[in-house]
A and B are shown apart, each in its own frame.
Chain A
């Protein structure tokens, strides 16, 4: 089956530092990936659409200079939280649409990354 991994699963960083989260499609290629943020006891909010070889498309209200997205290959997208602050603490989830499946409804999610900024 289609598997998406995220690394790390948990990370604690100090305020002011940057942290990078990786999202990999392990057994399929994905031109399009998505990054979501999930607040405690809240739903998932789409942050941005990541497209291989082009700039990410950010949702309204998401700071593109703070949340840097790089989709350098067909199996890897990275989210870098720059100059992290405690309010950036959250659960970050990625998803990927397999290139072999033109239907948008075949979308696979990673297990998520818990970021804690102290």
Chain B
């Protein structure tokens, strides 16, 4: 069985300060991991993905995440938050093959609030 745990349901930061959204995973196989963002009334947008290449993954809008196998973590960071970053973020684990091809397991989501 595989699972994804986002450790914070809400994170609040001030504009210009760093962002850290935490994610731990459990998987029997080498995982493929993603971060998606969901703005109100909009579809999920892929921020970045890890698929067994470099452990430090850079995504769009200045976000990056580091895959740490020893800690089973895939935390999302950004050096400086913008007001437009306010949204809900999902850490996602993918099944790589067999009958579970393409199936995604979502974390519970973290709502990021950015204060002026």
Q: Among the listed stretches A13-21, A66-74, A105-113, which one makes contact with chain B, having 4 or more residues with CB under 8 Å of it?
A: A105-113
Interface residues of A in 1-53 (CB under 8 A from B): 4, 9, 32, 34, 36, 42-46, 49
B74 adjacent to chain A (CB < 8 Å): no
Q: Are A105 and B49 in contact (CB under 8 A)?
A: yes
Chain B contacts for A32, CB-based, 8 A:
101-102
**Alpha-carbon distance between A49 and B45 when the two chains are bound, in angstroms:** 20
**Alpha-carbon distance between A93 and B55 when the two chains are bound, in angstroms:** 30
Instruction: Using known A-B contacts A105-B32, A105-B34, determine if residue A42 contacts B43 with beta carbons closer than 8 Å.
Output: no
Instruction: Report whether over half of chain B's contact residues are helix, strand or loop; otherwise say mixed.
Output: loop
Instruction: Using known A-B contacts A49-B102, A49-B103, A105-B51, determine if residue A43 contacts B43 with beta carbons closer than 8 Å.
Output: no
Question: What is the interface residue range for chain B against chain A?
Answer: 20 to 34
Q: Are A93 and B102 in contact (CB under 8 A)?
A: no
Number of A-B contacts (CB under 8 A): 54
Q: Are B43 and A109 in contact (CB under 8 A)?
A: yes
B11 adjacent to chain A (CB < 8 Å): no
Q: Are B41 and A107 in contact (CB under 8 A)?
A: no
CB distance from A49 to the nearest CB of B (A): 7
Give the residue name and chain of the B residue nearest to A6 (CB).
B43
Chain B contacts for A112, CB-based, 8 A:
43
Give the residue name and chain of the A residue nearest to B34 (CB).
A105
Q: Which residues of A line the B interface, CB within 8 A?
A: 4, 9, 32, 34, 36, 42-46, 49, 57, 93, 95, 97, 103-105, 107-112
Listed by A's residue number, 12 A-B pairs whose Cβ atoms lie within 8 Å are A4-B43, A32-B102, A42-B108, A43-B108, A97-B102, A104-B94, A104-B101, A105-B94, A107-B104, A109-B36, A111-B43, A112-B43
